[in-house]
Amino acid sequence: MISVADALAAVLKLGSPVDVELVPLIDADGRVLAQDVAATRDQPPFSASAMDGYAISTVDVAAGDTFTVIGEAAAGHRFDGKIDDGQAVRIFTGAPMPAGAQRVIIQEDVTRAGSSMTLRENIDKGHHIRPSGGDFKVGDLLTAPRRLSPSDVALLASMNVAQVPVRRRPVVAIIATGDELVSPGETPRDDQIIASNSLGLAAMFRRAGAQTRLLPIAKDTASSLEMDLSLAEGADLLVTIGGASVGDHDIVAEVAGTLGLERDFYKVAMRPGKPLMAGRIGKMAMIGLPGNPVSSMVCGELFIRPLLDHFLGLPAGPRARISLPLAQPLDANSQREHYMRAIIEDGAVRAFDRQDSSLLTVLAEANALIVRPPNDPARAAGERIEVIAL
């Protein structure tokens, strides 16, 4: 068995950043920006009013000062004249500042009578002008790599960027194996179960930015598995679920070997997830996950999500950890690194009592994994421990 750190290092070597493609800005949310993008205009492109009020040509004013209103400026409708001393232009938020304007008096601080505007007592001291280029200027960059957020999309739009260079979505083919499995919605025999891992992993991978191909469930025969493996051709990553252990019916490594699998490792010193396999078939990376539901999902979090980050050109490595106090004590750990399903509440973390790798109800309730190093001693309540937030 190899360590979790060595296994992750080997997994990351199986991939490299995928190609770049241009997508319309409307489709860019959640995609990974592959190249720096430069603004094509200043924002705002002109000095603009930050408030509704009156633009005047001086900054020095006093209560009782009176101005003659000579026009109006609104967003999208510039006042084309020039403001002189004693004059004002009615202006609205976002409108270009007229020539000669030095300040905006907010509308709450004036009294208006026809074309005459008089300042009240205790006027606001702000000038309320957004300077040209105050947000960004032509040539300013949105830097890559980054997973684009809705705020990034809004920024790119204001930069007048309509097509965005992003990494294409890496394609992940998923094969669940086992005579005991049927797809959701089917009627299982009394000796069968519903295939859940493949659906959960597909959802995880899509959230991480991948395109998924859910292939038919492979039976415990070489011919069935060979057919599924042929359907995976062209994917960036093949993920198999089950059939990677040492039982008589665990044939994934054997069948994949006949198709050219170059296996990097098999078995990791961790729980859940010991029977993990990784390697390459031709140009396609391959990871064989254990069949237990929690084991496969935890391994997906720890190994496949970082690999997908690597495919997408993002910084890739171990999942980020935080330090939190324990809400309850923990017994000593065994010789394998343990990822305990846990819940973070009120600033502390508590491991669930039941840690069996078949319990999806526990995983669904968990929002964290407590990381126990090999041979970690017993821990008391209040001690700080490393945690991966889910």
Q: Given this model, what pLDDT does residue 101 score?
A: 97
Token look-up 């669940």 returns 176
Token look-up 């968990």 returns 366
Q: Does residue 82 register a pLDDT over 60?
A: yes
Domain tally for the chain? 4
Q: Given this model, what pLDDT does residue 259 score?
A: 86
Across the range 13-35, mean pLDDT stands at: 97
Looking at the fold, whether 71 and 185 belong to one and the same domain comes out as no
- Tell me the CATH number at 74: 2.170.190.11
Across the range 356-366, mean pLDDT stands at: 93
Q: Given this model, what pLDDT does residue 251 score?
A: 81
Q: Given this model, what pLDDT does residue 383 score?
A: 97
Q: Given this model, what pLDDT does residue 248 score?
A: 42
The dihedral over CA atoms of 243, 245, 251, 253, expressed in degrees to the nearest 10, equals: 110
Q: How many CA atoms lie within 13 A of 158 on its CB side?
A: 17
Token look-up 């070997």 returns 257
Looking at the fold, whether 375 and 338 belong to one and the same domain comes out as yes
* The last residue of a domain, from among 167, 185, 218: 167
Q: Check residue 115 and report its DSSP letter.
A: T
* The last residue of a domain, from among 269, 287, 312: 312
Does the pTM surpass 0.85? The reply is yes
Among 69, 71, 72, 75, which Cα is nearest to 93's? 75
Show the tokens assigned to 214. Answer: 């859910």
- Tell me the CATH number at 175: 3.40.980.10
Looking at the fold, whether 66 and 88 belong to one and the same domain comes out as yes
Looking at the fold, whether 273 and 325 belong to one and the same domain comes out as no
Q: Given this model, what pLDDT does residue 24 score?
A: 98
Looking at the fold, whether 30 and 109 belong to one and the same domain comes out as no
Show the tokens assigned to 232. Answer: 């995976």
Mean pLDDT of the chain: 94
Looking at the fold, whether 281 and 185 belong to one and the same domain comes out as yes
Q: Which residues pair with 91 in a beta bridge?
A: 53, 73
- Tell me the CATH number at 327: 2.40.340.10
- Tell me the CATH number at 157: 3.90.105.10
Q: Check residue 275 and report its DSSP letter.
A: S
Q: Does residue 379 register a pLDDT over 90?
A: yes
3-state secondary structure of 337: strand
Tell me, yes or no, whether 136 lies in a domain.
Answer: no
Token look-up 């000038």 returns 127
Looking at the fold, whether 92 and 206 belong to one and the same domain comes out as no
* The last residue of a domain, from among 264, 281, 312: 312
Q: Which domain holds residue 329?
A: 321-389
Cβ neighbours of residue 72 under 8 Å, at least 6 residues apart? 79, 89, 90, 91
Q: Given this model, what pLDDT does residue 342 score?
A: 97
pLDDT, tens only, 118-138: 999 999 999 999 999 999 999
Across the range 267-271, mean pLDDT stands at: 94
Looking at the fold, whether 264 and 370 belong to one and the same domain comes out as no
Looking at the fold, whether 65 and 156 belong to one and the same domain comes out as no
Tell me, yes or no, whether 8 lies in a domain.
Answer: yes
pLDDT, tens only, 273-304: 988 999 999 899 999 999 899 999 999 999 99
Q: How many CB atoms lie within 10 A of CB 13?
A: 14
Looking at the fold, whether 303 and 363 belong to one and the same domain comes out as no
Looking at the fold, whether 160 and 124 belong to one and the same domain comes out as no
Residue 48's pLDDT band, with cuts at 50, 70 and 90, is: very high
Cα 341 from Cα 147, distance rounded (Å): 27
Q: Given this model, what pLDDT does residue 246 score?
A: 52
Looking at the fold, whether 148 and 30 belong to one and the same domain comes out as yes
3-state secondary structure of 331: coil
pLDDT, tens only, 245-258: 555 446 888 888 88
